[in-house]
Amino acid sequence: MSGTSTVPGRGRKPKPTARKQLAGNPGKRKLNKNEPQYSPVLAGVTAPDWISDDAKVMWEAVTTELCREGVLKVTDLHNVEGFCCAYSNWRKAQKEVDSMGVTLMTPTGTFIKNPAATVVNEAMRQMVSLGSLLGLDPSSRSRLMGASKKPAANEFSEF
């Protein structure tokens, strides 16, 4: 199966041109010279006032790291915001599951799944999805930044 598709939204997502260039254009295909270049966020971006305290703590941690690596762009801020809000929702829902349990007894005496457990799962899926877009998990991080790092020197290369 090929890595491209003629139907928009299907198949493998294209690798950004900058990442192809950093890797030395291993596929030797023509590079997109018209790819948009969005403004980087260098440091000091403050969290939106309306997000929760848990989300603000995560905002500080994530934006500090992404800015340090030089990969955060202005057009990524909504993904950071969504990631941090999902994190906050996950924390709140997980606390409720921890205190109330995975199941709850209804007034009729039957047990149902705690709705907070569904929120935990949904928030975690959102965190995984948005975190991957931002390079916050090991596999997406290696795709996002791995090619820009210089390989370690091999002490045996002269032999």
pLDDT beyond 60 at 145 = no
Domain count, the chain: 1
Classify residue 82: in a domain, yes or no.
yes
Q: How confident is the model at residue 157 (pLDDT cuts 50, 70, 90)?
A: low
Q: Is residue 4 part of a domain?
A: no
In a domain, 115, yes or no: yes
Q: For residue 23, give the DSSP letter.
A: T
Q: Do residues 59 and 80 lie in contact, with contact meaning Cβ atoms separated by under 8 Å? A: yes
Which range of residues forms the domain containing residue 127? 38-135
Whether 26 is covered by a domain: the verdict is no
- The tokens of 116 are what? 């907070």
5 within a domain of the structure (yes/no): no
The confidence band for 10, taking pLDDT boundaries of 50, 70 and 90, is confident
The reply to whether 53 falls in a domain is: yes
Q: What is the pLDDT of residue 135?
A: 86
Q: Does the structure show a pLDDT above 60 at 149?
A: no
Give residue-wise pLDDT tens across range 67-121. 988 889 999 999 999 999 999 999 999 999 999 999 999 999 999 999 999 999 9
Q: Model's pTM, two decimal places?
A: 0.74
Q: Give the span between the Cα atoms of 75 and 12, in whole angstroms.
A: 21
pLDDT confidence tier of residue 146, bands split at 50, 70 and 90: very low
Residue 102 is predicted with a pLDDT of 97
pLDDT tier for residue 140 given thresholds of 50, 70 and 90: confident
Is 51 strand, coil or helix? coil
Residue 153 in any domain: the answer is no
